[in-house]
Amino acid sequence: MNTIRIPKRFTNNVCESLLEQLGNTSEQIIDVQLPQSLAFGGSLSSEARLIQFLISVRRKSKFLQFSTYKSPRSMDEQLDDLSGHAYGLVAFYLADNFRFDAGELADRRYLLQHVSPYLKAADSGDFARTGKGIAANLLMLQGARSEYLRPLYKGNSPKLRDASSIELAIKNILLFLAQNKTEKHLLEFLTSDLSLSLRELVENIDDHASQSLDKSRINRNARGALFRYHRINAHKLSYETELDGPMASFAGGTASRSLLKGKRDTPLLEMSIFDSGFGIPCRWFGRASDEIPFADQVKYTKRSFLEGETTKKSGDAAGYGLFRLQQVAKRLHGLIEIRTCKVNIWRTFRPEDDLEGQLSWMGEHSEMNDISGTRVSLIAPVI
């Protein structure tokens, strides 16, 4: 059995190191040791990053077991703690079983019972009960009974609701995240663009997460959107930027002073979208990642952010999902990052980037370890 221990500080560098370990193993039985929580309650986009890594482990393994670090707490207490985090819920969904120090084992059926209350809360629009802290999680888990959540879909069917209905759901999420009237006004202003972007992205990832390249069904496919509100101070900015390329570009060095603007802390909005499919370049070419040159992977990942470009050949998708998300990042002077196949690129839209003409993609010359699915993260100051 190969054991992978997930640290509380799950940065991009940590993710790459563990992907390399995963790629070098021939073991088909894998045990993943999870922390009860992530450092600082989870750094920016770290929870979505961890979910994407767990999806990669599921693809690699024939039998996937999860466990936790040594804890004096009971099995149910540990499961309750983990179920307050999106990565814990996805782990329950992906697992074949969950092992505890006392020798107790929770099987898949028992684990899914801990997912059920979250699904009911998300399905009814009770976003405050979908995650710990100031967070809202929309997870669509195939085979977990509520794959098609009513905030996005018409009843329990794969047909998405109309734009105005989804806009209302996103408005309620953003108002839940906002901490004062000023923030509510600003976030409400973003509702239309975010909801239109999310609707098209979800339509795309419905197929991406559920179908392999030969159109066969992917078992245990997962997709979702995670919304987070972070209050970040100079200490946490230092923590975020120390080992993380995208955040270092966005808020490292003198940029942190510009972001804080002399205040003790500043609010940041995060929206991360993920799926368990084969990655954007694979969808463009219809081939596995190893068969696509890295330069082409980067080229077609960047192409997906252009207006009117889409990998989906049918349905209502018109190539505006990532384009609109990028426009929101630009309007808010934020950061957008994408991780798919061997590509991890990001783009910042700070005021100084406009002045200096530095709106190009970063990370496009660094080939990463292959990863399953796609993750897109938007991070922007709410000021």
The pair of three-digit structure tokens given for residue 34, joined into one six-digit string? 């999870």
H or E segment to which residue 139 belongs: strand 135-141
For the chain, counts of helices (H) and of strands (E) = 14, 11
Answer yes or no: are the C-beta atoms of 82 and 113 closer than 8 Å: no
The pLDDT score that the predictor gives to residue 368 is 96
Domain that holds residue 326: 2-381
In whole angstroms, what is the distance from residue 371 CA to residue 289 CA?
Answer: 9
Model pLDDT, residue 70:
74
Q: Residue 201 phi/psi, 5° resolution? A: -65, -40
CA distance 278 to 52: 11
Alpha carbon of 254 to those of 206, 237, 378: distances in Å? 41, 11, 21
pLDDT in tens, the chain (383 residues): 889 999 988 988 899 999 999 988 877 899 999 988 886 545 668 899 999 999 999 998 999 999 988 777 888 888 988 988 999 999 999 999 999 877 789 999 999 998 999 989 999 999 999 988 889 999 999 877 678 899 999 988 889 999 999 999 999 999 999 888 888 888 888 899 899 999 989 988 887 777 777 777 777 889 999 999 888 887 777 777 776 788 888 887 666 667 777 777 888 899 999 999 889 999 999 999 999 999 999 999 999 999 887 776 555 556 788 999 999 998 888 999 999 999 999 999 887 776 555 568 999 999 999 999 999 999 988 87
Q: What is the pLDDT of residue 243?
A: 66
Please give the pLDDT value at position 342.
97
Instruction: Give CA separation, 288 vs 103, 171, 342, in Å.
Output: 40, 38, 11
How many domains does the chain fold into?
1
